[in-house]
Structure 1
Amino acid sequence: MRKLPVLLSSTLMSSIFAATLLLTGCAISNQPSVNTKITGEVKAPLPSDNVSVYNVAPVSYAEIAKMSASTIPSLEINDTRRVDEAVRLLQSEAAMLGANAIVLSNLDIETIKLEYSSLYNGTQGGRITENRHIVHIHALAVYVNDK
């Protein structure tokens, strides 16, 4: 029995190409993330509401961990909701380690470019380019004795 070569129509090829581009564009995380490196003594967990936020380190503290949080991409470059979200993630992670404070050390906004292509019927198409912004915040999880 002889196998016949399979010829793909231009519409099918266009659909496969568009699906590949769509899946490639989905490689960006749709979940915020927190990375933690334990550097000190972990204590009993606390409620995250008990974790204070410092922009400047207090006079006396014990370092528990170095942390960083990243948000999902946003269309707005100065999206304060994303900054608040990252701080809440850091507070929650610090609370699980028994830290009663976090000291914010660095805030970065990463801009990524997303390109979308669409093909309608194999002959028409378009390309959309968007800038998305991801907030990255670095902090120390600490225990402040004088709190």
Structure 2
Amino acid sequence: MSREDLERLNDEGIGAWDRHDTDGFVKLLADDFVWIDDTTPEPMRTRDAARAYTQAWFTAFPDMHIRTTNTVCTDDQIACELEFTGTNTGTLAMGGMEIPPTGKSVTSRGTYFMKCENGKITEFHTHPDAAGMMMQLGLMGAPA
């Protein structure tokens, strides 16, 4: 894949998340993808798991908007920093727990690394700032 193809695939993925288009994002995953996320106990390897994960974010933050703030691209990988804003008006499912809505708004950050082949995401490593988000939601205190 060319860098332009990688950037286009990345833009498509960010656009799907920003539109809350679960299926639009999942279709970008290769048949044998692996998705490793800091908030999940095991890597995701099925489309159903990927759908459930993305839908959990859209349920927790129905007004979520995402934008990239920094991108680095090589011949087969792309790394991004992103920022998301949203109001927690739905149940937050994270780390095997379900947390009732707080009604609070957040501005949170995260990073991800994506490897691609033949126009599809083969490896996706996501690192949301869960602790920072939890502090903004009033669910944990700031470190001393």
TM-score under structure 2 length normalisation: 0.26
Larger Rg: 1
Higher relative contact order (CA 8 A, sep 6+): 1
- Normalized per residue, the structure richer in helix is 2
Q: What TM-score comes out, normalization by structure 1 length?
A: 0.26
